[in-house]
Structure 1
Amino acid sequence: MAIAAWSGLDSMSNMDDALYLQWKTLLEDRTGMILPNERRSFLTTSLGIRMREIGFTDYQLYYEHVLNGCEGAIEWATLVDRLTVHETRFFRHMASVEMLRELVLPQWMSEDEPPGTIQCWSVGCSTGEEPYTLAMVLDHFRETDYCQYYFGITASDISLASLATGRKGVYHSRKLRDVDAVLRGKYFRRVSDTHFEVNEALRKRVCFAQLNVLEMEHVPIGKVHLIICQNMLIYFDRKRRIEILNNLVEHLLPGGVLILGAGEILGWQPPIIEKIEFNDTLAFRRLPSA
């Protein structure tokens, strides 16, 4: 499809209710994300910005474009980046970090046979701050508590652009505002007046991979000790959240831990897991006998 040049003066077409429902349904079918009506302006604004960039002024024509063959598939991938990426930073939820440091890791290390390898999965990792935070916690705990274990982290997200940022490991200083001076000096190096780079040793511990949570049955990830899935479930309805969580639990080793965002799910607890009691957190442990 030929794209007409946009002069910068042409007005955008209106998005009526039927067209809004069409876009909303496409987003849900392809990503599982539910877009409440109060976020209609977010959708129209995000679409409008992208449409102006590539020369479209009509929402219907752009809709047909993203459904059109390989070119449309490439454009859809770019659009999904715009619609799904959320703001994050290092050590965003300190209560979960403290639970790992004070409860989960000490318990694992006190077992008769503590794990020699700790495998982790960051689900909906966005631009990488969450898995790198986890890597810092695991590495620093290993050194300060004189523990002997290897660790690796799989970080997954639907956004290719976010994954590329994570692999590069370069972040604006505002993303590091909750990183204390010791960890900042140990795991980052300044690359400009405003940006820092995660050191190579830590980057090698994190493997970034694209994953659509609607296709969990095809995930090539085995059993892991720890899964973190925070600030992602809010985009889905309750039925989809439970489907995602049930699949995640199946990837936990006995004794493995699932950490969610506080308040992201209520009334869900399969019989093979138990809730971990720790202030301001929502986490579950897979029962050893499960």
Structure 2
Amino acid sequence: MDGLIEISEKEFRTLADLIYRTVGIHLTDKKKMLVRGRLNKVIRRLGFSSFEEYFHALESDTSGRNISELIDRISTNHTYFFRENDHFDFFCETVVPWLNEIMAKKGNRDLRIWSAGCASGEEAYTLAMLLAETYGFDYFSAGAPILATDVSSTALNAALLGSYPFERLKDVPQLFLQKYFTKLGMDRYQVKDVLKKLILFKRFNFNNEHFPFRNAFHVIFCRNVMIYFDPPTKDRLIAKFQHFLEPDGFLFIGHSETLGRSHPSFRYIRPATYRKGAV
């Protein structure tokens, strides 16, 4: 016995169904022990002695706080700056020149990038550094060019804070580290406010039927997110991405993910990189 509250098959399936209905995350039976481990402290802190009591509390909670904490616990995802760096090399070498053409043709500086499933912000800040290097801080005076969203309030709070241990920054070039971060101690760095101004962080649930975006994006990064979805949920999300991408816009997904052949509106460019067909 490990001292943890047990979870029955029925209790696990009840929680898994609730999580699926709420945020679209598909939990297989293999995740049962993970769910048990991550939720035990929450259940004890709330004064419950079983998962059944916890589920009843979730159902009766009108504030939404308990369900929000549940999602936070389940959706925790480790990431770091410049993860899957070949994407960022391609972004600088290929995507940025295309963005320059688009802005020159339209005569504006309206650039829209979506970091979808941004976790604690490392991906969004990586993109912000690349934009700052290319365009400077004052180029996007009309508004932040990056929208970064996540379903986890805890992750978003960490992203807004912008304070990271060095282990997540180990792939950041030294020049960028000096230019865009303030060292807080032996092993911690703080993102500078000038970089934060390039990003708008918002809580957003991919399972929402309505996506509240007025304009399409030029680039969408949604990496290592769809691995948590079943095929129908994944297909619905990809269809939304197709709708909210500009013609010829780029979609980046995780290297362990694929769009498959059921989405002909996207053409394969290179590993985990797709482009929307022109309308």
- Give the alignment's TM-score, normalised by structure 1: 0.87
- Measured against aligned partners, the alpha-carbon deviations of 1:243-271 in whole angstroms (never above 9, x if no partner) come to 10110111111221111112312423634
Q: Matched residues in 1 for 2:255 and 2:204: separation?
A: 23
Contact preservation (8 Å) 1:242, 1:268: no
Partner of 2:40: 48
Listed as ranges, the matches of 1:53-92 within 5 Å are 53-71=45-63, 73-92=64-83
Listed as ranges, the matches of 1:115-126 within 5 Å are 116-126=109-119
Relative to structure 1, the CA distance from residue 224 to residue 56 in structure 2 (aligned partners, 3 Å threshold; closer, same or farther) is same
RMSD: 2.2
**Helix, strand or coil: the match of 1:39?**
helix
Contact preservation (8 Å) 1:159, 1:210: yes
Matched letter for residue 93 of structure 2: E
Partner of 1:233: 226
State the 1:204 CA deviation: 0.8
- Which segment is superposed worse, 234-243 or 213-222? 213-222
**Helix, strand or coil: the match of 1:118?**
coil
- Measured against aligned partners, the alpha-carbon deviations of 1:206-239 in whole angstroms (never above 9, x if no partner) come to 1111111011523235211111000110100112
**Helix, strand or coil: the match of 1:122?**
strand
For structure 2, the 5+ residue unaligned runs are none
Matching residue within 236, 246, 249 for 2:239:
246
Q: Matched residues in 1 for 2:97 and 2:4: separation?
A: 58
Q: Matched residues in 1 for 2:215 and 2:49: separation?
A: 46
Partner of 1:167: 160
1:130 maps to 2:123: yes
Matching residue within 16, 30, 46 for 1:24:
16
State the 1:87 CA deviation: 0.4
Q: Matched residues in 1 for 2:9 and 2:24: separation?
A: 20
Matched letter for residue 227 of structure 2: I
Partner of 2:86: 95
Residues paired across the two proteins, number: 273
Partner of 2:150: 157
Contact preservation (8 Å) 1:126, 1:162: yes
Q: Matched residues in 2 for 1:110 and 1:82: separation?
A: 43
Partner of 2:183: 190
Q: Matched residues in 2 for 1:44 and 1:263: separation?
A: 26
Partner of 1:181: 174
Partner of 1:5: none
State the 1:142 CA deviation: 2.9
- Measured against aligned partners, the alpha-carbon deviations of 1:114-143 in whole angstroms (never above 9, x if no partner) come to 763321111111111111111111221335
**Helix, strand or coil: the match of 1:254?**
strand
- Give the alignment's TM-score, normalised by structure 2: 0.90
Contact preservation (8 Å) 2:4, 2:37: no
Relative to structure 1, the CA distance from residue 207 to residue 17 in structure 2 (aligned partners, 3 Å threshold; closer, same or farther) is same
Q: Matched residues in 2 for 1:61 and 1:40: separation?
A: 17
Amino-acid identity (%):
25
- Which segment is superposed worse, 264-273 or 48-57? 264-273
**Helix, strand or coil: the match of 1:117?**
coil
Contact preservation (8 Å) 1:221, 1:251: no
**Helix, strand or coil: the match of 1:75?**
helix
Listed as ranges, the matches of 1:192-211 within 5 Å are 192-211=185-204
Contact preservation (8 Å) 1:12, 1:58: no
State the 1:13 CA deviation: 4.5
**Helix, strand or coil: the match of 1:215?**
coil
**Helix, strand or coil: the match of 1:259?**
strand
For structure 1, the 5+ residue unaligned runs are 1-10
